[in-house]
Amino acid sequence: MSWKETILDFFDVFGPASLAVVSFTESIIQPIPPDLLYIPMLAETIGNVPMVIWLWLTVTLSSVAGSLVGYWIGKRWGRSFILRFSKQSHLDKIEALTLKYGTFGIFIAAFSPIPYKVFGWVAGMGEMEKKPFLLAGLCGRGLRFGLEAVMIGVYGREAVEVLNWFLENEIMLAVVMMASIIIAWLLWKWWSGIELEQSTA
């Protein structure tokens, strides 16, 4: 039995509330994505639209609620932790990045394999406004879990297998995605820095 299965078995004692518990805690600190419970539950309720909607609302809202706790942790203790090992200038940079890219970053983290919890902590440290933080999380998480529900509803067990493959390779996909974003940013910076030579008559 893998460590993921051990944790899922532990949460399973909560019954139907297990999905909310896993989703809530994953957005704060624990490493198990709620999809590992959510996807099998969706597969068992194919055709039961009200139950699918209920599962979607449960996993989405509990995940965003957990991220709000992570935000509070980052705001309460993250800043003092950073200042203990770093300079004020580094914290100022975090605040500047949060102000400039915060909403987009939260949405991408909520939708993609990039750890959502980390962005919650950073948003708290950077004192990002709560309204855009929550809206970005709701949109990203809602879209992610909603697409999973639609895929399983349309393609059934085939979609379950594909989604499970993505979950098993989540870390690799996150690394590839982050590397792609960095490369794209560097290429854009290089392209923007090119100056056309002015021709003189």
The rounded percent of the chain whose pLDDT value lies above 90 is 20
pLDDT of residue 201: 46
Under 8 Å between Cβ of 84 and 114: no
**Residue 145 CA to chain centroid, in angstroms?**
11
pLDDT of residue 150 exceeding 70, the answer is yes
pLDDT in tens, 3-40: 556 655 665 666 568 889 889 999 998 888 888 888 88
How far is the CA of 186 from the CAs of 183, 189, 192, in angstroms? 5, 5, 10
Whole-number pLDDT of residue 199 = 47
Give residues with Cβ within 8 angstroms of 145, minimum separation 6.
35, 38, 56, 59, 60, 63
Please give the pLDDT value at position 168.
65
Nearest to 26 by CA among 87, 85, 70: 70
pLDDT confidence of residue 124: 87
User: The dihedral of CA 107, 113, 114, 115: what is its sign?
Assistant: positive
Q: What is the rounded distance in angstroms from the CA atom of residue 115 to the CA atom of residue 56?
A: 20
pLDDT above 80 for 178: no
Contact 113, 170 (CB under 8 A): yes
Say how far apart CA 117 and CA 81 lie, in whole Å.
17
CA 65 from chain centre, in angstroms, equals 13
pLDDT digits 0-9 by tens, 64-79: 999 999 999 988 888 7
- Give the residue-averaged pLDDT of 122-149: 90
